[in-house]
Amino acid sequence: MSIKGSRYLFCVGVCLVTLGCGGDQTGALIAQLADSDVETRRAAARALGERSDVDDQVVPALSGAIADSDAQVRQLSIHALARIGPAAISSLPVLKPALQDPELPVRVGAALAIAKIEPRDPSFIPVLNTAMRAANGRVLLEVGAMGKDAAWAVPTLTALLSHPQAGVRALAAQTLGRIGPAAVEARAALQRVLRDPNAAVRYAAEEALDRIPAGAAAPDL
């Protein structure tokens, strides 16, 4: 057989095994979550997280993959559930134990997923507070994206306004601003930050204060 013919058969095989070639693509990816090859499992979890269509099989399959022996498979599966959002509510019983995972990225991913799937469930808060205190920039940005639902983060963010790194202080101020009126308790601290020696921090504090009216009522947590 020619090299060209071999390459053609190889591509056909990859298409049939990986994508289903117009068949049940989702089913093929779900099956690969149980493959013995870790790279195949990682690719399947990643692909499921990128799909826009979600059927009834996806959430249970991804939930099961949270118990995978490979940390990256666990992390990718959790990320996929986070992208699905509230429709993945049935995954909460397995996401909560993942908050105790030995790998930090898995713990943080599980916390962010729970926050997106069921923001009224407070189980994710300690993990995200710990990550913010460790100056995890990604978590600070994700918390800011929660808006008023992140009122629980205000005490930690207020403390970060005194962080020794200017970048962390600026990001904390920015995050408080994105939380908006629900961060009213941080106004006094933000006003003190207006005297920060770093211009970027001062600017972030000014922007935050513009978004947090002085007369706003503190939320009931």
Name the more confident of 3 and 208.
208
The pLDDT of residue 189 is above 90: yes
pLDDT, tens digit, 9 for 90 and up, residues 123-160: 999 999 999 999 999 999 999 999 999 999 999 999 99
CA atoms within 13 A on the CB side of 67: 8
Q: What is the mean pLDDT of the chain?
A: 89
Among 5-9, 84-88, 106-110, 180-184, the minimum mean pLDDT is found in 5-9
pLDDT, tens digit, 9 for 90 and up, residues 40-61: 999 999 999 998 777 889 999 9
The pLDDT of residue 201 is above 70: yes
pLDDT at position 178 = 98
pLDDT at position 52 = 78
Q: Which residues, other chains included, contact 122 with Cβ-Cβ below 8 Å and sequence gap of 6+?
A: 152
pLDDT at position 216 = 61
Domains recognised in the chain with CATH numbers: 16-134 (1.25.10.10), 138-221 (1.25.10.10)
Please provide the DSSP assignment of the chain as one string: --HHHHHHHHHHHHIIIII-TTS-HHHHHHHHTT-SSHHHHHHHHHHHHH-S---TTHHHHHHHHTT-SSHHHHHHHHHHHHHHGGGGGGGHHHHHHHTT-SSHHHHHHHHHHHHHH-TT-GGGHHHHHHHHHTT-HHHHHHHHHTGGGGGGGHHHHHHHTT-SSHHHHHHHHHHHHHHGGGGGGGHHHHHHHTT-SSHHHHHHHHHHHHHS-TTPPPPP-
pLDDT at position 18 = 47
pLDDT at position 7 = 39
The pLDDT of residue 5 is above 50: no
